[in-house]
């Protein structure tokens, strides 16, 4: 389930918002926290680094933080019921926490 830009929720690519290729900050954080608790620190750090790189790449190209990201291509997410939301709190908080936790 490891993608170039983080952790996939599913391999299904239906065009819906929770499906591949979209990645979501809370799911990255939960996975990283769980892996760390089980002592899988290298995998947790790899997921965190990939997610932070994805958010950083999209920020550098748009100047904005978003609700969801395309974790296959390192860009803003798409699909679902509405346009990608800008400045989403969970992206801000999760990304800041993961940056602080990286060695």
For residue 103, pLDDT over 80 is answered with no
13 against 68, higher pLDDT: 68
Give pLDDT, residue 85.
86
Give pLDDT, residue 45.
97
Residue 46 to residue 64: CA distance in whole angstroms: 24
**Per-residue pLDDT tens over the stretch 7-65:** 998 888 888 888 889 999 999 999 999 999 999 999 999 999 999 999 999 999 999 99
CA 53 to chain centre: 9
Least confident of 38-42, 56-60, 79-83, 99-103: 79-83
Residue 19 to residue 44: CA distance in whole angstroms: 22
Tokens of 9: 């929720």
């Amino acid at each position: 389930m490891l993608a170039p830009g983080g952790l996939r929720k599913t391999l299904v690519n239906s065009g819906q918002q929770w499906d591949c290729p979209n990645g979501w900050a809370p799911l990255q954080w939960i996975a990283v926290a769980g892996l760390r608790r089980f002592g899988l620190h290298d995998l947790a750090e790899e997921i965190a680094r990939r997610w932070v790189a994805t958010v950083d790449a999209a920020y550098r190209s748009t100047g904005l933080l978003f609700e969801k990201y395309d974790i296959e291509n390192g860009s803003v997410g798409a699909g679902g019921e509405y346009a990608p939301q800008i400045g989403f709190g969970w992206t801000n908080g999760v990304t800041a926490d993961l940056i602080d936790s990286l060695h």
